[in-house]
Amino acid sequence: MISSALRRLVRPVAPLLVAAVAAQALAAAATVVPLIALASYAAAWLRGTAHAASPTPALVAAASAVASVLLTALAGWLSHRADARLQLLLQRQLIAHLARLPLGSLTSRGAGRIKKTVHDDVGNLHYLVAHTILDVTTVVTAPVAALAYLATLDWRVAAVALAPLIAGVHLFMRAMSGSGANFVRYAQAQSAVNAAIVDYVQGVPVVKAFGRARSAQETFARATDAFHDFFSAWSRSTAAVTTASWLVVTPAVTLALFAAAALLLLAAGWSTPDAVLALALAGPAVAAPVAVVGPRLQAIRTAGSAAAAIVEVLDAQAMSWRTGTRQPADAGVEFDGVQFGYLGGPAVLHSITETLPAGSFTALVGPSGSGKSTFASLLARFHDPTGGAVRIGGVDLRELSEEQLYAHVSFVFQETVLLHGSIRDNLTGGREVGQDDVIRAATAAAIHDRVMRLPRGYDSVVGEDAELSGGEAQRVAIARALLRDTPILVLDEATAATDLATQSTIQRALGVLVRGRTVLVIAHRLRTVTAADQILVLDGGRIVESGTHHELLAAAGRYARMWAAQEPTMEGEPSCSAA
């Protein structure tokens, strides 16, 4: 019933849960005690010996009622503590593991799915851990205790008490038979509704603009109708037996049945008045749980699929980092027979062998989709090559520690994400850096004046009192790279082209940034990299040409054609390069 994934996940809080279950079981068993006391007084009254009854059963009953409530409270408190601890534990585990996954496997999941696993799925375990486990304990313990009590009085009475339970369970099993296949179909119908609503809602501007709102609406309505038709047929086919399964254990029905049995037992002289009274008082509790077992099963199923999703992430293959005993000899970069494909997909890069000498400026050009970003991301070890090796100063990236690698390489991306945190932390990445250095870098990146205009200067928090434009965020990223001061820099030229108003400042800042480093630039506009030491022309995942701007123009190949297409008015010579 409880999946292995679930068992594995809750293991760290198992002691707390066992304690909670024990407390809850005692609490549930204790609820029978007042009924026992009542029945014992009843026996005395029925024999006409009430005046001789001792107060002890009443006191025991009162004590166990109090104990039951306190134990229930204790169990709830323990299970909620276990739940809180488990959530934090799992979330930390997930975050730590996600951070070690290859970037490609992470981004292919998407932020939505990651949030679903770390937040929603872990949250879905809450109901199971904090509530359902205890509910199930009660559902099992209370009937067992009641039945045990009745059995000590009279086995015939206990047998009668079992009858509705057996009938209820039998009907419930019949209602559930074939439900596995139906649950699968239910999930399919539901995901069809999901796909239709996503298309309908996300695409609503487009469908409306192209006059297709009606057909998208109809597609969605069809999907929901199919869902309801299926659900309706399913519930029609099981409604009668499902209804019977809980009707047979409703208080009125069980009590009527026990009344009839009581009359029969007494009339035949098979039992005593106090035993049949105990049957009427405690008997209905034996079968009652059948009526509430459905939702509990559903809760366990939900938690099971949440646990499976969590385990899937935790078991995904992570990248390993070494302790980094070898130091790179210099800031040169080698791509040696590098092959790469995403997650078993077709190869995106084919046997690339190139050298970026220390301190050189290399430009990567090529049509969109040719693999430029993938090429650059290998240097960041966002992925590991599927064949060959990437080396810095002669050391394979896989031999370096994470700290070592990022002490050598820094990046300025096309889309800059600022983190929720102070501007200072965004600049330093949380490291200890002197204020003078921060200001120097920010000034060089032409962002210092802007920061000083924020309410709290460098302590302003992004998203709270610091709202920065895309161009400003990029200058923060450039200042960050300046502060990191790594010998190797990977940068996307498009960074310089997003925000018109700040473009020239960004371009100046980039000029400062690239000085004196090994630089790899992903270039979109060819004229920005005409002064590069070497230009690598990437097409279809292969380096098809390489050389300086003049060499490549002279070669009259792919690069020369790209140049002609982008600069139709030029004669092959950049006019404004400040080289």
Partner 1 sequence: MLGRLIRLLNRREARDLRALVAWLCAAAALQGVALALTAPFFIDLLAGRLDAALGWLIAVVAATGTFVAVQAAAQLRAFRAGIQTARALHHRMADHIARLPLGWFSPDRTGMLTALNTAGIPALASYPALLLRPLATAVVTPAAAALALLPVDWRASLAVAVCGASLAVVARAAGARTRRVDAQRHAAADRAAHGVIEFANAQQVLRANGAARRPHELDAALVGAYQVNRRAAGAMLPGIVGFSFALQIAFAAVLGLGVLLILRGGLDPGVFLGVTVVVARLAAIATTGAELGVALRMNAGTVDRIAQVLDTAPLPEPRPATSIPAVDAGRDLVAEFESVSFRYDSTPVLHDVSFQLPARGLTALVGPSGGGKTTVTRLLARFWDVSSGSVRVHGRDVRDIPTDELLRELAIVFQDVYLFDGTVEDNVRLGRPEASEAEVAAAMELAALTDLATDAGRAVRVGAGGALLSGGQKQRISIARAILKAAPITVLDEATAALDPENALVVQRAITTLADRGSVLVIAHQLRTVEAADTILVLDQGRIIDQGTHEQLRKRPGIYADFVRQREAAESWAFR
Q: Which residues between 92 and 131 bind partner 1 (CB under 8 A)?
A: 92, 95-96, 98-100, 103, 106-107, 109-111, 114-115, 118-119, 123
For the chain, helix (H) and strand (E) counts, in that order, are: 25, 10
Amino acid code (one letter) for 578: A
Q: Which helix (H) or strand (E) holds 16?
A: helix 14-30
Among residues 72 and 460, whose Cβ is nearest to partner 1? 72
Q: What are residue 536's DSSP bridge partners?
A: 364, 546
Contact 136, 296 (CB under 8 A): yes
Among 247, 343, 452, 556, binds partner 1 (CB under 8 A): 247
Among residues 395 and 505, whose Cβ is nearest to partner 1? 505
Least Cβ distance, residue 268 to partner 1 (angstroms): 11
Q: Cβ–Cβ contacts within 10 Å for residue 282, how many?
A: 26
| Residue 548 interacts with partner 1 (CB under 8 A): yes or no | no
Which stretch in 5-13, 167-175, 227-235, 385-393 sits in contact with partner 1 by CB under 8 A?
A: 227-235
Q: What whole-number distance in Å separates Cα of residue 188 and Cα of residue 366? A: 43
Contact 412, 458 (CB under 8 A): no
| Residue 228 interacts with partner 1 (CB under 8 A): yes or no | yes
Q: What whole-number distance in Å separates Cα of residue 17 and Cα of residue 79? A: 6
Concatenating the DSSP letter of every residue in 63-78 gives HHHHHHHHHHHHHHHH
Least Cβ distance, residue 4 to partner 1 (angstroms): 26
Among 166, 188, 225, 561, binds partner 1 (CB under 8 A): 225
Among 286, 409, 444, 445, binds partner 1 (CB under 8 A): 409
Among 2, 19, 22, 42, binds partner 1 (CB under 8 A): 42
| 3-state class (DSSP) for residue 344 | coil
Site string for partner 1, 128-167 (x = CB under 8 A): ----------------------------------------
| Residue 250 interacts with partner 1 (CB under 8 A): yes or no | yes
Among residues 1 and 111, whose Cβ is nearest to partner 1? 111
Among 14, 18, 240, 452, binds partner 1 (CB under 8 A): 240
Among 21, 133, 150, 288, binds partner 1 (CB under 8 A): 288
Among 18, 63, 184, 221, binds partner 1 (CB under 8 A): 221
Q: What whole-number distance in Å separates Cα of residue 561 and Cα of residue 209? A: 38
Least Cβ distance, residue 332 to partner 1 (angstroms): 20
Among 429, 457, 540, 547, binds partner 1 (CB under 8 A): 429
Among residues 353 and 469, whose Cβ is nearest to partner 1? 469
Among 73, 148, 329, 452, binds partner 1 (CB under 8 A): 73
Q: What whole-number distance in Å separates Cα of residue 370 and Cα of residue 347? A: 11
Among 21, 23, 35, 509, binds partner 1 (CB under 8 A): 35
| Residue 579 interacts with partner 1 (CB under 8 A): yes or no | yes
Q: What whole-number distance in Å separates Cα of residue 119 and Cα of residue 94? A: 10
Contact 429, 484 (CB under 8 A): yes
Terminal CA-CA length for the chain: 72
Q: Which residues contact 194 (CB under 8 A, 6 or more apart)?
A: none
Among residues 16 and 395, whose Cβ is nearest to partner 1? 16
Contact 446, 475 (CB under 8 A): yes
Strand pairing category for 395-396 and 409-412: unpaired
Which stretch in 77-85, 177-185, 439-447, 539-547 sits in contact with partner 1 by CB under 8 A?
A: 77-85
Q: Cβ–Cβ contacts within 10 Å for residue 32, how many?
A: 24
